[in-house]
Amino acid sequence: MIVADMRRRPPLVAIALLLLSACGEGGEAGPSPTPSATPSAPFPTDATVVIESAEGDPLTLHVAVADTPEERTRGLMGVEEMPDDVGMVFLHEEPTKSDFWMKDTLIPLSVAVWDESMTIRQIVDMEPCEEDPCPIYDITGEWVGALEVNRGAFDRVAVGDTVALDY
């Protein structure tokens, strides 16, 4: 999940944002219901990401798209398991400098961030965190998109690979 630089916000504001992010529209938790491209996904997937890698065959993933502040903050909180071909994409219309954290995230994840040219600029492995304080994972530079997947799913992906998103 994304956390705007929470280190600069007063703790009360950070707590309020976290509580607000736990509720979707109408007070229901979770992404909006949409058909799932992968029946075994723990949440609806409505897009496909293909990473073209110099290492070989393209990596294709079915993903949920988090493109609102609430969806980006909630991220994969509470997800207990996820198939290897599933993930979550975080999108911004403009380049952003946001870091990631794993608050209430139960599975180890990796995140790849890309720039406006759809080129992966950084890959970070992250640990689950259920207790405060959770570490914040620094993302170097600005980015427009990020993809969270199970740790290990990026074994054949590298910085400099390109991303194609279809949704």
pLDDT, tens digit, for every residue of 126-145?
999 999 899 999 999 999 99
Residue 128's region, left for phi above 0, alpha for psi from -120 to 50, else beta, is: beta
pLDDT on residue 48: 97
Domains within the chain, CATH numbers bracketed: 2-166 (2.60.120.1140)
pLDDT at residue 1, rounded to an integer: 60
Question: pTM of the full predicted structure?
Answer: 0.77
pLDDT-flagged residues of the chain (< 70): 1-39
Helix (H, G, I), strand (E, B) or coil at 82: coil
- Write down the pLDDT at residue 92: 94
CB 149 within 8 A of CB 61: yes
Amino acid letter, 76: L
